[in-house]
Amino acid sequence: MRTALVTGGGSGIGRATAVALAAQGAKVVVAGRRAHTLIETVKAIEENGGTASHVLADVTIPDEAARAAGATVDRYGSLDTAVNCAGLPSWGLTADMTPAEWEEVVSVNVNGTWLCMKYEIEHMLRQGGGAIVNVSSRIGPHMRVTHQSAYAASKSALSTLTRSAAREYIPHGIRINAVSPGPTDTAMAVWPGETPADRDDRVARDIPAGRLARPEEIAAAVLWLASPDAAFVVGHDLVIDGGLSA
């Protein structure tokens, strides 16, 4: 893993993944829309002796997704690992959502991830291989909850996209997999109307393991899927949820 791109690398699971990839020696580019959070991730990596930089990109805009996918190639010479972590939650009963709310979440979680994959795969085809890990969710492909149907639909589509593309590109040496986290200790895991304490009570009640995942635990799975140790793992969607969907 010489070089890596992490979309959504300015916060949460994306930041933990970028830091972990850099700790293993990868030169990392983090992508997202907010410069200050991306710069904080870069600083954290550099303080650990790693190499990183950021690119401002909204993954739903084709030129910006292409710029993100090309950034490690331009700066560090290749794109060995791409982690597509940028994502948005949704909230509301199915019939109560507005068309704009529906479109925003589907646009980021499905279209944005597809756009990034499209340009990442083009670079990986040219260099003769690579690994892509998409960050999906247990909500949707593995378990349903109320008030999150747009998010669930988008993550189900993302898991299916992952597996379809995995079949297409493994003959070219590009391994594509996904992780599907359960509730993880980031801003996204606090639901509307909840305090962090409410969230902790809900999680302790619902999750057999009795706690949230740490972002670093999701990052560890991403790193394994991207590593040569997972060379025969293709089109897998790895659930990491403390037993919630077991």
Ligand X SMILES: NC(=O)c1ccc[n+]([C@@H]2O[C@H](COP(=O)([O-])OP(=O)(O)OC[C@H]3O[C@@H](n4cnc5c(N)ncnc54)[C@H](OP(=O)(O)O)[C@@H]3O)[C@@H](O)[C@H]2O)c1
DSSP letters along 118-133, please?
Answer: HHHHHHHHHHT-EEEE
- Please say whether the dihedral angle defined by the alpha carbons of residues 101, 105, 108 and 110, taken in this order, is positive or negative: negative
**3-class secondary structure, 181:** strand
Q: Is 146 or 231 the residue whose CB approaches ligand X more closely?
A: 146
What's the rounded Cα separation, in Å, for the pair 231 and 213? 26
* Residue ranges that bind ligand X, judged by CB under 6 A: 7-8, 10-14, 32-34, 37, 57-60, 85-88, 108, 112, 135, 137, 181, 183-184, 186-189
Q: Which is nearer to ligand X, 135 or 230 (CB)?
A: 135
- Which lies closer to ligand X via its Cβ, residue 3 or residue 137? 137
Q: CB burial class (10 A; 0-12, 13-18, 19+) of residue 147? A: middle
User: Residue 71 Cβ, how far from ligand X at the closest point, in Å?
Assistant: 13
Q: What is the set of active-site residues?
A: 151
Tokens coding 151: 């998010």
Measured from the CB of residue 121, what is the shortest distance to ligand X in angstroms? Answer: 18
For the chain, strand residue ranges (E) read 3-7, 27-32, 52-56, 81-84, 130-135, 174-181, 237-240
In the bound complex, what is the minimum distance in angstroms from residue 139's beta carbon to ligand X? 7
CB of 37 to ligand X, least distance (A): 5
Question: 239 burial class (0-12, 13-18, 19+ CB within 10 angstroms)?
Answer: buried
